[in-house]
Amino acid sequence: MGPQAGVVCSLFFLLQVLAMPAENPDFSLVGDYLLGGLFTLHANVKGTVHLNFLQVPKCKEYEVKALGYKLMQAMHFAVEEINNHSSLLPGVRLGYEMVDVCYVSNNIQPVLYFLAQEDYFLPIQEDYSHYVPRVVAVIGPENSEATMTVAHFLSLFLLPQITFSAISNDLRNKQRFPAVLRMVPGADHHLQAMVQLMLRFRWNWIVVLVSDDDYGRRASQLLSEHLARNDICVALHEVLPTPQPSQVVTRQERRRLEAIVDKLRHSSARVVVVFSPDLVLHHFFHQVLRQNLTGIVWIASESWAIDLALHNLTELSHTGTFLGITTESVSIPGFSEFRVRRAQARRPASNRPSGGGTCNQECDACLDALESFNTILTLSGERVAYSVYSAVYAVAHALHSLLGCSQTHCPKEVVYPWRLLQEIRKVNFTLLGHHIFFDDQGDLPMPLEVIQWHWNQSQNPFQTIASYHPAQRQLKDVRGVSWHTPDGTVPVSTCSKDCQPGQKKKSVGIHPCCFECLDCPPGTFLNKTEDEFDCQPCPSNEWSHRRDTSCFKRQLTFLQWHNAPTIFVVLLAALGFLGTLAILAIFWRHLQTPMVRSAGGPMCFLILTSLLVAYLMVPVYVGPPTPATCLCRQTFFTLCFTICISCITVRSFQIVYVFKMARQLPRTYGYWVRYHGPYVFVAAITALKVAMVTTNQVITTTGPTARADPGDPKIMILSCNPDYSKGLLVNTSLDLLLSVVGFSFAYMGKELPTSYNEAKFITFCMTFYFTSSISLCTFMSVYEGVLVTFLDLLVTVLNLLGISLGYFGPKCYLILFHPERNTPAYFSSVIQGYTMGRD
């Protein structure tokens, strides 16, 4: 769909006047189809810019912009190459009219001139679909502000505008600027390359200087967003004064520049990022030189990264290292020779204007000034020049397609701008090894380069040190940087020094880049990939020293077989087991003797069997705990011991009852004997103990657990469960109660006959068990370690030995060494003596 009318009638007269010819454009070439070129050839440094074209200042009041002249020659070279040597547009001759926009002051007049027809009028129409302006496309201008100014006019007519260095993200908005295409990546890519450069050299504390215009403000906002995402802090942010319209610096602006440079001198940041048009920076860098500011890394935006006028200030080499972001350098065969040849040429005198030179006119003084730049222009390569060169080729390819050209002929038709714009968006060709096409936003994803300024006259003044590819969004091949520092090392620009490994950061102030370093305490480590400001705790089975970056496995400790104390206790248990086995054999051999019957008879075998089983449980205390060994510790041993204690207790009760209470309660004793009271009692106590053990196992954990040793956190104590001491106290509570009851009955029978007086032996066994169990539980409540397991095992074995030797030992001694006391007659005499003594 074609362009619509977008100019109100009240502007008609103004447009008529402003569309008058631009008094001899700098360069013009007649052709079938004209291209418009907008370049900055001169920059106002002295005089006042007059918007009225009839009062244009003289050329001598302007500083020649060498790069702009080079870009204009690149367009000229591309057009001549296409007309003379290219298979593009056979039979069609391209023409051009190129105008000097004088930096920013001469944008509107040439645009209206390009839009006007041959009669210099720009008519008001309802529909411009069939309107044919003077040119079919416009190349330029170079900066974003001028590009947008021009684009507002050209977009009304959908006249293709291809800019070669404007990077503002606003130009991606095709609702506002539908006719704008760019031969360079947008601002996002330039800033991404800049930020990755800072990250590459670990600079996170920088100064940002921006010009006081739309370009500076937009760049500052976008840069702040990129910096925040990459944890780079701005130590100082200043706005450079922008003199307008004259470049004469006022006293107030000079004081402002002095203050900015003074702040730079006192700032700890050594990296300065500058977003500003090149003209604004001349006075700033003169102030930098005046105050002798050194040791700075200057990072230039694309607006001045390859500015030859600033580079011509050779004293800047003493202020630090200059880096910049610009487009990739592509060699254009034959262009350097063409440019030098054109610069040396002069127009015939008859073609020169008689009056004073204007901004849009060439003059001998301007060309003479450019001669000093010939060498540096040749050495610097074709960076932006290739963008202009490829822009002309893009228009040529689009025209070739729109006209339906063959290899030998092109039909000459009326070209409407909006139709050409559609074809330009679709171009896809290779030029000097580079793929030329436009993405959805109208941008060419041209690689960028990071360059460093050099002042050696025999080499490229802008040497490449890195490359950036928009498709991968990655900075690559960083190399060959010559740092202007005393020792030639990479300058440091950080608010705080990097923390040592194992140190966390603690923020100081409002900037995340400013911090102090604190050691991570033992038991924690620092994982920088997750969190640099907090130490992460080690897992329960691991540990770390102070300032560790990782945790190590704790040493697992448990009762081991090769330890001397363990061997000693196991030998005791083995001797106890063999001794108990011998006692069982002796009692079985003398089962019908009075000594065995007085000790309990068949119940003695129940006690001895339980003791043997308990001895067999001793190995479960040694070695790494397992669910099975923990179950044995907390169930089988305590059940066996309960059976032993209950048997001894009921035996003590039975002896006391027979000698002291049977005559008072004969019927009760009869029931006790008739219904096997001792066995019923033992069975009841055993059942109660089973219920207690089962409940305890259900409530608490039976499996092994690891706990850190309080005395040495590097060691993990492997035990059955964290509440083992509580479980032990619950399991032994019934045994302790039985031991007290047994002790009481034994004490009551201290006056019984010698053969039945077991008070001393039972008292010894019960007292030792009671005191050892209470001591063990107390020790376990205040200490954790392998020693607890060892003491538990030792107390267990000693208690078993106490019953085996303390209760059964004396009886075996009498059976073996005093058989005369193991006769019915001896026992009858003892009982008779006890009865007569009571009477």
pLDDT recorded at residue 103: 62
Number of other CB atoms surrounding residue 457 within 10 Å: 10
**pLDDT(122) > 80:** yes
Residue 217: exposure state from Cβ atoms within 10 A (0-12, 13-18, ≥19): middle
Which letter does DSSP use for residue 626 in this model? -
Around 819, how many Cα atoms within 13 Å sit in the side-chain half-sphere? 3
pLDDT recorded at residue 369: 54
For residue 358 the two structure tokens come to 């204007």
**pLDDT(45) > 50:** no
pLDDT recorded at residue 380: 58
Alpha-carbon separation of residue 167 from 147, 164, 229, 464, 614 (angstroms): 10, 9, 21, 20, 88
Provide the 3-class DSSP secondary structure of residue 566. Answer: helix
Percent of the chain exceeding pLDDT 70 equals 79
**How far apart, in whole angstroms, are the C-alpha atoms of residue 529 and residue 526?**
9
In the block, which residue shows the tokens 């739309």? 214
* Degrees to nearest 5, angle at CA 177 with 174 and 180: 95
Cross-strand bridge partners of residue 36: 97, 138
pLDDT recorded at residue 5: 37
**pLDDT(423) > 60:** yes
Q: Tens digit of pLDDT for each residue in 146-200?
A: 899 899 999 989 999 999 989 998 899 999 999 999 999 999 999 999 999 999 9
Report, as an integer, the average pLDDT of 565-577: 88
pLDDT recorded at residue 483: 92
Domain 564-836 has CATH 1.20.1070.10: yes
Alpha-carbon separation of residue 819 from 3, 179, 461, 594, 816 (angstroms): 134, 127, 121, 11, 6
> What is the rounded radius of gyration, in angstroms, for the C-alpha atoms of the chain?
52
**How far apart, in whole angstroms, are the C-alpha atoms of residue 468 and residue 447?**
6
Against a cut of 0.85, is the pTM above it?
no
Q: Tens digit of pLDDT for each residue in 69-106?
A: 788 888 989 999 999 877 889 988 898 888 877 765 66
Backbone angles phi, psi at 474, to 5 degrees: -140, 135
Q: Which one of 3.10.20.30, 3.40.50.300, 3.40.50.2300, 1.20.1050.10 gives the CATH number of domain 187-332+447-476?
A: 3.40.50.2300
**CB within 8 A of 492, min separation 6: which ones?**
202, 270
**How far apart, in whole angstroms, are the C-alpha atoms of residue 465 and residue 736?**
85
Residue 191: exposure state from Cβ atoms within 10 A (0-12, 13-18, ≥19): buried
* Degrees to nearest 5, angle at CA 72 with 394 and 35: 45
* Degrees to nearest 5, angle at CA 403 with 397 and 404: 90
**pLDDT(109) > 70:** yes
pLDDT recorded at residue 448: 93
287 — pLDDT class (breaks 50, 70, 90):
very high
**pLDDT(49) > 50:** no
Q: Which amino acid is at 679?
A: Y
In the block, which residue shows the tokens 């319209």? 245
24-28, 254-258, 361-365, range with the lowest pLDDT: 361-365
pLDDT recorded at residue 67: 76
For residue 378 the two structure tokens come to 């040749």
The residue that leads in pLDDT, 332 or 555, is 332
Residue from 732, 642, 645 nearest 696 by CA: 732
**Mean pLDDT computed over every residue of the chain:** 79
Superfamily (CATH H level) for 24-185+334-339+363-437: Response regulator (3.40.50.2300)
**CB within 8 A of 313, min separation 6: which ones?**
285, 286, 289
Write down how long the chain is: 839
pLDDT recorded at residue 769: 72
Which letter does DSSP use for residue 634 in this model? I
pLDDT recorded at residue 69: 79
Cross-strand bridge partners of residue 435: 430
pLDDT recorded at residue 757: 52
Report, as an integer, the average pLDDT of 112-126: 83
Q: Is the CA virtual torsion 662, 668, 672, 678 positive or negative?
A: negative
pLDDT recorded at residue 397: 94
Which letter does DSSP use for residue 127 in this model? B
Report, as an integer, the average pLDDT of 482-489: 87
pLDDT recorded at residue 829: 75
Q: Which amino acid is at 15?
A: L
**pLDDT(389) > 90:** yes
Residue from 468, 457, 526 nearest 197 by CA: 468
Helices vs strands, H then E, count in the chain: 26, 27
Contact 606, 647 (CB under 8 A): yes
Q: Tens digit of pLDDT for each residue in 191-201?
A: 999 999 999 99
107 — pLDDT class (breaks 50, 70, 90):
confident
